[in-house]
Structure 1
Amino acid sequence: MKRIVLAATASLVLASAAHSADLGVQRVAVPAAIIAQSYDWTGFYIGAHAGYGWGRSSYGFNTNGHYNHLPGDRFSHSTGGFVGGGQLGYNWQSGNFVFGLEGSLTWSDVRRANVISPFFPTSDTFTSSVGWFGTVTPRIGFAASNWLLYAKGGLAFGQVRTRIQDTNDFTAASSTRLGWTVGLGAEYAINQNWSVGLEANYYDFGSLRVNQESSLLVGGGPAGVFSDHNVKTTMWSALARVNYRFSTGGGAVSARY
């Protein structure tokens, strides 16, 4: 009987000691998973842009007209000025790749007035401008979290104006031209709705033919003197942009410990 009592007592003592030892050990909590939300560029957006445009107007004369010497004569001059407008588009993201379509419309003060003629420098001047232009461009980009790098290219159209004048008469034309554009850009998402970016673009508005039907006296009416020439208009732009995104896709959720 004594042996049974002693054995039970020893068991209780050992159990109590073990429990006391457990109480002395500091428990370490298992860290919870940290949820990281990756930005998703999917959705419609609308925005504004502003910057500087510069380009070149190149004249090629088809005849020995009133404002040049011989067929094949050529002359070009630079243009430049402020540009600003708006854009509307949609992005769709798959993995790190972003595909989109964007349309834009831009008011332009890209121009150069009263450039002295190389053919008749004492009397003739050249003036040209781009009054406005628009684009419709597919885009493809690579997204790294809140950053998006992209390339774009597609349709460009715009109002091209040209005028050659001497002391008595002038020839002028204004036409909406159809051409093409390519560009590169970078965009940073400030939050789920707002983003800012920079963009550089090249535009080619093709060649506008100006012939005798455009020749007038300075005071109005047919001049009776003619010019048959083409004016090719090309342009660059450097733009700062801001966009508001109406909706975003469900961002990919990742967990780390």
Structure 2
Amino acid sequence: MLKTTTALAAVTALMAAPAFAGSPEAPAPEPVIAAAVPVAPASPNWTGFYAGGEIGYGDFDSTPGPSEDGILGGVILGYDYDLGNNVVVGGGLDYDFADIDGLDEIFRAKLRAGYKIGNGLLYGTGGYTIASTDNAGSDDGYVVGAGYEHMINQSFSVGGEVLYHDYGSFNNSGADLDGTTAQIRAAFRF
């Protein structure tokens, strides 16, 4: 009888072992906490008006005649529209005073189109220009160029622009006037 009781106790212990070991279902996995993934900042929205100033260098050639160069600078005003697909279009007005022998002022009305690169805008521009001189009056022509503008924050941007100006036969004088300007620009955006 002792053998039977010992055998019965051993079988009971073996059958009860899973009950003491835990439930037959696997435990729920512990939640995995993933590290925060930084999200790339969205490029800024360029839509809105801007106003500011520019200063730089200009080199103008009169054929026949001399080549003159010097400093020019003035004010800028414009409006940009962000199309939302990394493309920005806009228009602007520039008015510069020139410290270039014979050239007093330059006015420009330009359109621009550009591609957003992060917080920057790489663009091409072109339009209408008028130049006034101290001795030959004033005349109009066209202007084309390219530039880069960088948004410091939603309210302020800085950049640079290179423009080619062509006035043809200036004021029907028989002398062709053209020139190149390179300027840095800063604008408050609103």
What TM-score results when the alignment is normalised by the length of structure 1?
Answer: 0.61
Q: Is the aligned partner of 1:42 residue 2:71?
A: no
Runs of 5+ consecutive residues of structure 2 not aligned to the other structure: 1-7
- Alignment partner for residue 121 of structure 2, among 138, 145, 148? 148
Once residues 167 and 94 of structure 2 are traced to their aligned partners in structure 1, the CA distance between those partners, rounded to angstroms, is 16
Partner of 2:4: none
| Aligned with residue 87 of structure 1, among 76, 99, 107 | 76
Q: Which residue of 1 aligns with 2:32?
A: 28
Matched, 1:239 2:183: yes
Tell me by how many angstroms 1:157 deviates. Answer: 0.8
Tell me which moved more, 25-34 or 152-161: 25-34
1:160–1:233 CA contact under 8 A, matched in 2? no
Residue 57 of structure 1 pairs with residue 62 of structure 2: yes
CA contact (8 A) 2:167 2:176 kept: yes
Contact 1:208 1:232 in 2 (8 A): no
Cα deviations by residue, 1:183-202 (Å, 9 ceiling, x for unpaired): 11111222222221111111
**Whole-angstrom distance in 2 between the partners of 1:12 and 1:44:** 76
* Aligned-partner Cα distance in 2 for 1:208–1:161: 13
Structure 1 gap ranges (5+): 59-74, 112-128, 163-172, 210-228, 247-257
The 3-state SS of whatever aligns with 1:190 is strand
| Backbone CA RMSD of aligned residues | 2.9
Structure 2 Cα separation of the partners of residues 88 and 9 of structure 1? 87
Matches of 1:8 and 1:45 in 2, distance apart? 83
Higher relative contact order (CA 8 A, sep 6+): 1
TM superposition score normalised by structure 2: 0.80
Deviation at residue 34 of structure 1 after TM alignment: 3.9
2:156 paired residue among 175, 184, 194 = 194
1:90–1:101 Cα contact (<8 Å) kept: yes
Specify the alignment match of 1:178 in structure 2: 140
Cα distance, 1:46 vs structure 2: 1.3
* Cα displacement (A) at 1:32: 4.7
Identity of aligned residues (%): 30
Aligned-partner Cα distance in 2 for 1:192–1:7: 74
Q: Look up the equivalent residue of 2:90 and give its one-letter code.
A: G
Which residue in the other structure is 1:100 paired with?
90
Question: What is the aligned partner in structure 1 of residue 174 from structure 2?
Answer: 230
Separation in 2 of the partners of 1:10 and 1:245? Answer: 76
How far the C-alpha of 1:47 sits from its partner, in A, is 1.6
